Amino acid sequence: MLEFDYIIVGAGSAGCVLADRLTASGRNSVLVLEAGGSDRRFWIKVPIGYGRTFYDTRVAWCYRAEPDPMLGGRSAYWPRGKVVGGSSSINALIYCRGLPPDFDDWRDAGNPGWGWSDVAPHFERLETRCRGRSRQGSGPVHVTDVSREIHPASRHFFAAAREMSLPVTDDFNGPHPEGVGFYQITTRNGFRWSAADAFLRPALARGRCELVTRVLVKRILIESGQARGVEYLRGGRTLQAMARRGVIVSAGAVNSPQILQLSGIGPGALLQAHGIPVVAHREAVGANLQDHLAIDFFFKAREPTLNDILYPWRGKIISGLRYIATRSGPLSTSVNHCGGFVRSNAEATRPDLQLYFNPITYRTAPANKRPLMNPDPFSGFILSYQPCRPKSRGRIEIGSPDPMVPPRIMPNSLTDAADIADILAGGRFMKRMVATEAMARLIAEPIPPSILDMSDDDMIEDFKQRCGSVFHACGTCRMGPDPATSVVDNRLRVYGIDRLRVIDASVFPNVTSGNTNAPTLMLADRAAALLLGE
């Protein structure tokens, strides 16, 4: 029997931050339980290696969503990190705080303390901003400007943006994030810099934090309405650990609601159907599932792109040697080189699309694989867009009382009419961009289907047939003021159960406009401050 002040379920982005912040004073002891193993792997540390780790069952939960009716019955692939560092160890590295109105929306939904003015100081506290030799800030998260590594083909994207009179920003995480620009990534000295690097390892070095890997949490132990500890499987044995001050579930938007439901906290009818005693009837556990959907448009290019560097063996060897010698070159960055947050039309009151320009194609990749180290054998590039704030809501439900059985993921995509309007607005925007003179100078030919040939109805149908998740799942343990429609309050305490919190992207009331890793780190930092303040 182990006993600690706090038990954190999950060594992902949020769990790592919490482990660090809660042990910094030396007063608290913390146990971190992680389903995966070590993150000390070559393809995790090499930034472009995420193209392989996305589909590696050794480091990822390789989930499949239920057939999605509005997407032609397709079952989307949903990878989540199952490794120390969680999804911050396998993601595409982009660091975007989100837009200030995203967080004001959280506050205005009945969550005081979560507006932009409240959360901005936590972002600042987290970050060290790296631009060449200059450094700004002193936080543990290294946010690197890799614009020097950006492929020269990107100049056509910026020229097209100017032709469309789009604003330009030099920093998506600065005071003016709207516009097109270069993406910043979480690397340090050319290596991926995950939440485990930034937070968990310093916590472990203090001696007040213990990490146990390759465990599967069966349930939270609840007595008299209080979370007392957790029960988990390790090496075929069922073990327990007790928490003096509280249990924190930080297992992510898929696994956090699964763990609550396995513990008897969730929709009563669902729990009873699986023979699980109802500890707290909470319909909202697993509801409010949100994600970003994006669509790619592929083109053959009139000039060399990353395909020409990374497809031939000679180019692979040269790029590998360059990376080994200097920690620079194509292997040192994400393939999401540039993009932006833009308004699809003049009537939009704030940015409603996120754009990506990737100077690489992998259209011929086998199904369910993304061998980004082996792109297509011709010069090519990708333009993508995703609507920023989807309105449709899905669900996560356990499929069995056995924790080893994956939960059912029901995205319920595009069921809100507003989302159809958003994808049409995005398609029209993309059509205008592809038709610019600047893009014409780069495009040799579209790789079908060509958006230039599509009507409005065609664009909607194409999106339904080809769109995919950008892996920004959130919202399934929503923060809100009403226990009937939310799971946690604004201090992230689970309604109806004392000494139990959920702290990760599952508590987002609404998905932020862009990539979700940075907001998750911020949320955990602010949550730790609330905990320590108590």
Picking from 210, 325, 297, 221, the residue whose alpha carbon sits closest to that of residue 263 is: 221
Read out DSSP for 21-86?
Answer: HHHTTS---EEEE-SSB----HHHHSGGGHHHHTT-TTTEEEEEPPPBGGGTTB--EEEEE-BTTG
CA 136 to chain centre: 24
Neighbours of 313 (CB within 10 A): 8
Neighbours of 59 (CB within 10 A): 26
Half-sphere exposure of 286 (CA within 13 A, CB side): 26
What is the distance between the alpha carbons of residues 116 and 210, in angstroms, rounded to a whole number?
Answer: 34
- 3-class DSSP assignment, residue 116: helix
What is the distance between the alpha carbons of residues 61 and 54, in angstroms, rounded to a whole number?
Answer: 9
- Enter the DSSP assignment of 498: B
- 3-class DSSP assignment, residue 521: helix
What is the distance between the alpha carbons of residues 48 and 151, in angstroms, rounded to a whole number?
Answer: 14
Q: Are 385 and 355 in contact (CB under 8 A)?
A: yes
472 in active site:
yes
Token duo for residue 484: 């009937």
The CA–CA distances, whole Å, from 265 to 5, 47, 145, 394, 476 equal 22, 38, 43, 18, 13
Of 122, 292, 337, 472, which residue is the catalytic one? Answer: 472
What is the distance between the alpha carbons of residues 503 and 512, in angstroms, rounded to a whole number?
Answer: 16
Active site residues: 472
